[in-house]
Amino acid sequence: MDRDRWSGLAIFAEIVDAGSFARAAERLGLSASALSHAMRSLETKLGVRLLDRTTRSLAPTLAGEALLASLRPAIASVTRALDDLDNARDTPAGRIRVSAHRVAAVYAILPRLTDFARNFPDIAVELVVDDGFVDIVAERFDCGVRHAQALQGDMISVRLGDPVPLVYVASPAYLDGQAAPTSPSDLDDHRCLCYRYTSSGVVHRWGFERDGRSFERTIRGDFTTNDIDVLRDAAVSGLGIACLPLPHAALQLAAGTLIEVLSGWAPTLPPNHLYYPSRRQATAAFRVFVDAMRADPADG
C-alpha cells in the first residue's frame, strides 16, 4: 500500500476519534495545518470526501463512516502487533501519556521520573497537567492521576502516596494589623481566596475537621481562580486567606511568605492514585512505568 495513503488513513481515524483537527494534532504531535493537508491529499487520492467540516463541527460522511468501519479493526490489529513487538524487546520502549492535576504532577509524578528515565532511557513520558476532569480513554492517555474519590469504577488504581493535608494560609502582609482567624466563623471578617473546579465550574467548599466533627462552609470568594498556582501566589501577595494542599504551600510556609491560620481545622484529602482502564492491554513500557510510580521515590 502507498505509505502516504496508509498514514492518511490513520490520521483520518484519529481526527474522527478526537472530534477536531486541533485535538488530533495535539495527540499526534503535529500541526493542525499538517493534518488538514493530509486529509485533503487522502480525499484527492481516494476521489471521495471523507469528512464534513464546518467552523463548528466535524463528522465523517457516509463514505467516511463505511471506511472507518473497516479501518478500525485493521488499526487495532496493527496496534496489538506493535504492542507484542514491544513486549518482546529486551529493553522496554515507547511513549507513555499521563494526565494529572498540577499538585499530583509536581509532587507525585516528577519525583519518580528521574530514576525512571535513567533506568528506561527508551521510554518517553508525556505529562499533561489538567486540573479538570479528563476522560483518559477518549483523550488517548495511558493513565491518569486523581484523588481516589474521583476515580471511575471500571479503573485499576495504584496508590501513589499518603493522604494529602490541606492548610489555610495567609501572608504576613495580609495579617498585619488584624487578628488571624482562630475558628471558621471568623472567616466572615476576612477576604477569602477560592478555587473553581475547571470541569464542573463548582467553587470549592471549604472543609473543617475538629474533635471528630467535620463540616463544610460556602465561602464568599473575594477572589476566585481555577489555577492552584495563581491561588497560592494571590495569598503570598497579600490578597487574602487561601485553602491549599500542604505540599503546594510548604516552601512558602518554610520561607515565611505564608503563615498557617486556623491551625488544627484543616481536613485531609484522600491519597493520589494512578489509574487506567481495567481492559487495557499493558505494554512492557507501561508495566515498568506503573511499577516505577508505585515505588516510593525516597527509596531511590
Mean pLDDT over 228-255 rounds to: 96
β pairing state of 241-245 and 259-261: unpaired
pLDDT at 201 over 70: yes
Predicted pLDDT at 300: 44
The domain segmentation of the chain, as residue ranges, is: 3-88, 94-163+271-299, 164-269
Are domains 3-88 and 164-269 of this chain identical in fold?
Answer: no
- Which among 3-7, 49-53, 198-202, 265-269 has the top mean pLDDT? 265-269
Residues above pLDDT 70, as percent of the chain = 90
Predicted pLDDT at 88: 60
pLDDT at 239 over 60: yes
Predicted pLDDT at 109: 95
Predicted pLDDT at 32: 84
pLDDT, one tens digit per residue, over 157-186 is 899 988 999 999 999 999 998 999 999 999
Mean pLDDT over 13-24 rounds to: 84
pLDDT at 106 over 50: yes
CA angle centred on 35, ends 30 and 40, rounded to 5°: 160
* CB-based burial label for 202 (10 Å; 0-12, 13-18, 19+): exposed
Instruction: Name the band, by pLDDT with cuts 50, 70 and 90, for residue 86.
Output: low
Predicted pLDDT at 152: 64
Alpha-carbon gap, residue 220 to 240, rounded angstroms: 12
Predicted pLDDT at 76: 74
pLDDT at 2 over 80: no
Find, among 76, 4, 88, the residue nearest to 285 by Cα: 88
pLDDT, the chain, mean = 87
- Under a CB-based contact definition with an 8 Å cutoff, are residues 123 and 92 in contact? yes
- Residue with the larger pLDDT of the pair 249 and 140: 249
Q: Give domain 94-163+271-299's CATH architecture.
A: 3-Layer(aba) Sandwich (3.40)
Cα 14 to Cα 27, 37, 71, 95: the distances in Å are: 8, 14, 11, 17
CATH tag, 3-88 = 1.10.10.10
Query: Roughly how many angstroms between the first and final C-alpha of the chain, as a whole number?
Result: 48
Q: Give domain 164-269's CATH architecture.
A: 3-Layer(aba) Sandwich (3.40)
Predicted pLDDT at 140: 82
- Residue with the larger pLDDT of the pair 179 and 6: 179
- Residue with the larger pLDDT of the pair 299 and 267: 267
Instruction: Name the band, by pLDDT with cuts 50, 70 and 90, for residue 87.
Output: low
